[in-house]
Structure 1
């Protein structure tokens, strides 16, 4: 089922897209990584609003490393409307963290998939200062990392958010130990982003992922958010999936009412 377009002239839609990236073709990108196409905030704002989504979570892409200027500049364009998840050096000054918080940053991304991402040691070093500000830790990880992440968050005051269905791809056996790791994380209060379907060995319309989506939803309860993963760096710039096509798996797997609640849950996680 497709998203319902918002009526022209209506108030800002309540829905949240909890995983998008913005790119500035003039900004320096890391050598040896993909070279992003220019994708400004205005493009995704217009696309999302036409489908009932008025709030975005801008996630720092690995291609920019710890240089968060593109993301922070985008947040400053519409104060209070959107939120951000950044990537940090462990030595970042407290004053910079406070400035980021004022702009709308609410989390820090740690990437165990990309070779240029921050990992567990950086998380442990930053965690006390993140907890002081009520920020969370967002993990882009493989299924085999879930047990390690659960251990890192044991007794931690910092909430955990797992990107892209926690990496639980279509070829993962139903009895894989990763599911035990997810169960442990669920007990610790972790959240999961329903996003990045094409990163999970699936193709549109992603029906092969419905069992995993349903199982994750049963474990996580109300701690689910949805993200489009726009602008879909997995694809060539001229072959991007439609916005509706990456929303429909949530509706088809969980039902329309549950899907809408998930789409609105960003208001709680990113308050």
Structure 2
């Protein structure tokens, strides 16, 4: 089997879990899902680089993700969740392990920050010093609120899971104009989380939103499998290739190839 450096593809949204790790109260308790497991699945699809995203269930305890990043020996990158009181030493340790951004999760019940704007303004200078981006998981209705934060902080924003644009989102919804403005301001969009968007495999209902979003973001598109497909209900058991299929089917082949193999280097290197 080829080694990770020889596998050009990137999967920009995965999680690792340990069933024995402490979790925040009131949330799900995930089964163990290891780095070795996702590396094997990804390699079979030509993917050698992963972006490990801190799950909401662990809060700002990034220990498990850091352990996996170090085991990956520099092949992978991470997106952390940090507390307001995070020290410079902690941020430097995260950076050394491969972390390149922080995440605000405004959807999961224990992941949401009560005042993400205040926390972001507090952290912004230190994020800028390290060249980090800010990843947002939110409902599409929340997109307009990101526009002033993008302007005020000058930070790169990355929008999770098609920015919450669901299969049934009207074509004239305000979310689309906000998404266009965010794209014009330098934001990135992550094509992922299909099962969160009121669509069923093979996700043909998302082809039109995918094509419209691709027209807005162009070279600032990423893809993520969202493995192992966590959810508050029963997580779907999706074949790894099924998460790539909508991108393959909906987008121009050249763009699809670029967003899996070329675009991520610009954001995560």
Global fold match (TM > 0.5): yes
Separation of aligned partners in 2, 1:186 and 1:136: 14
Give the structure with the larger helix fraction: 2
Structure 1 residue 157 displacement after superposition: 2.6
Tell me how large the CA RMSD over aligned residues is: 1.3
Separation of aligned partners in 2, 1:270 and 1:107: 9
Alignment partner, residue 76 of structure 1: 70
> Which of 207, 212, 216 is equivalent to 1:210?
207
Q: 1:177 to 1:9 in 2, by over 3 A?
A: closer
CA contact (8 A) 2:157 2:187 kept: yes
Moved over 3 A (4+): 8-11
Q: How many residues end up aligned between the 2 structures?
A: 263
2:95 pairs with 1:101:
yes
Separation of aligned partners in 2, 1:159 and 1:171: 28
Separation of aligned partners in 2, 1:90 and 1:220: 31
Structure 1 residue 111 displacement after superposition: 1.2
Structure 1 residue 126 displacement after superposition: 1.1
> Which of 165, 173, 177 is equivalent to 1:176?
173
Larger displacement relative to structure 2 (146-155 or 63-72): 146-155
Q: TM-score, normalised by structure 2?
A: 0.95
Separation of aligned partners in 1, 2:123 and 2:41: 35
Alignment partner, residue 23 of structure 1: 17
Q: TM-score, normalised by structure 1?
A: 0.94
2:56 pairs with 1:58:
no
In structure 2, list runs of 5 or more residues that go unmatched: none
Alignment partner, residue 8 of structure 2: 14
CA contact (8 A) 2:27 2:109 kept: no
Alignment partner, residue 243 of structure 1: 240
Structure 1 residue 9 displacement after superposition: 4.1
In structure 1, list runs of 5 or more residues that go unmatched: 1-7
2:162 pairs with 1:165:
yes
CA contact (8 A) 2:121 2:153 kept: no
Residue by residue over 1:139-182, the C-alpha shift from the partner in whole angstroms, topping out at 9 and shown as x without a partner, is: 00111111101111114231000000000001111001111110
